């Protein structure tokens, strides 16, 4: 889920044909299932409709809605692979209208109350005429399933040739089986890319309406540095509403 504001304009790009994403995901999962032990691999997926694709505090669709779908295959030993797709709105001259995120990693318990997730994430924009693709190494430590600290590192941050480091700390507050709140604060070190860095925060209310659906309402805010980097039409304060189904 990336951001390439260097290449953006306020004009909308072509919508994503999500059937392509679904086909790629299903093909990848089917291949893995045949190659490995089927009873040791779990398959899952998500589909979402959101009013705005917000990533690390800034809009990836210039405030427009997005349709998103993802598939994941996880082995019993903790290793997993996933593919996720969304429409995006970048500058028209790049022809970038779709994003696919390919991830391979390992997740599991490292102590009774501690869990670790380490993965390599590749952001890809197949329809673009520019070289926007980039890769990031990520790690997340979780305590009691409700508190987490994440770090991400790339030497080609946001499709550049420069280093970027992202950090986030967050917490989850369950109210009951159906309702929970989540809060997170992140800081993106982009001095090598933009000669600046920025901080953002988000607060979400998530309601599990009826399995497999849940509703999410999120308030996002960034500091003035993000507005200087990306523009106040993409950064700043915004509200995002989404409905998601898990399968």
| 88-108 residue pLDDT tens | 997 677 777 999 999 999 999
pTM: 0.84
Per-residue pLDDT tens digits for 134-144: 999 999 999 99
pLDDT at 216 over 80: yes
pLDDT at 16: 39
Residue 22 is predicted with a pLDDT of 45
Residue 130: pLDDT band with limits 50, 70, 90:
confident
> Model confidence at 129, in pLDDT bands (50, 70, 90)?
low
For residue 86, give both structure tokens: 């969304």
For the residues 143-154, what does the mean pLDDT come to? Answer: 98
Q: 43-246 is classed in which CATH architecture? A: Beta Barrel (2.40)
Largest Cα span, the chain: 51
- The pLDDT of 121-128, averaged and rounded, is 91
DSSP state of 127: T
Query: Are the C-beta atoms of 141 and 115 separated by less than 8 Å?
Result: yes
Q: What is the pLDDT of residue 96?
A: 78
Q: Is 245 exposed, middle or buried (0-12, 13-18, 19+ CB in 10 A)?
A: middle
What's the rounded mean pLDDT across residues 142-161? 97
């Amino acid at each position: 889920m990336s951001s390439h504001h260097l290449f953006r304009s306020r004009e909308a790009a072509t919508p994503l044909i999500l059937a392509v994403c679904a086909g790629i995901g299903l093909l990848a999962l089917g291949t893995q299932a045949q190659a490995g032990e089927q009873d040791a691999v779990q398959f899952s997926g998500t589909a979402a409709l959101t009013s705005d694709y917000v990533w690390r505090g800034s809009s990836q669709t210039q405030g427009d809605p997005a349709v998103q779908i993802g598939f994941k295959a996880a082995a019993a030993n903790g290793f997993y692979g996933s593919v996720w797709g969304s429409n995006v709105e970048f500058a028209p001259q790049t022809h970038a209208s779709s994003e696919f995120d390919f991830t391979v990693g390992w997740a599991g318990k490292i102590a009774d109350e501690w869990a670790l997730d380490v993965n390599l994430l590749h952001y890809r924009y197949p329809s673009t005429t520019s070289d926007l693709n980039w890769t990031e190494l990520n790690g997340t430590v979780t305590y009691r399933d409700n508190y987490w600290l994440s770090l991400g590192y790339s030497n080609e941050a946001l499709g550049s040739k420069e280093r970027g480091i992202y950090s986030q700390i967050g917490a989850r507050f369950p109210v009951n089986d159906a309702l929970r709140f989540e809060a997170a604060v992140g800081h993106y070190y982009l001095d090598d890319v933009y000669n600046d860095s920025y901080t953002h925060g988000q607060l979400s209310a998530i309601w599990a309406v009826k399995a497999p659906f849940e509703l999410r309402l999120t308030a996002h805010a960034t500091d003035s540095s993000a507005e200087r980097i990306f523009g106040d039409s993409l950064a700043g304060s915004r509200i995002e509403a989404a409905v998601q189904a898990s399968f």
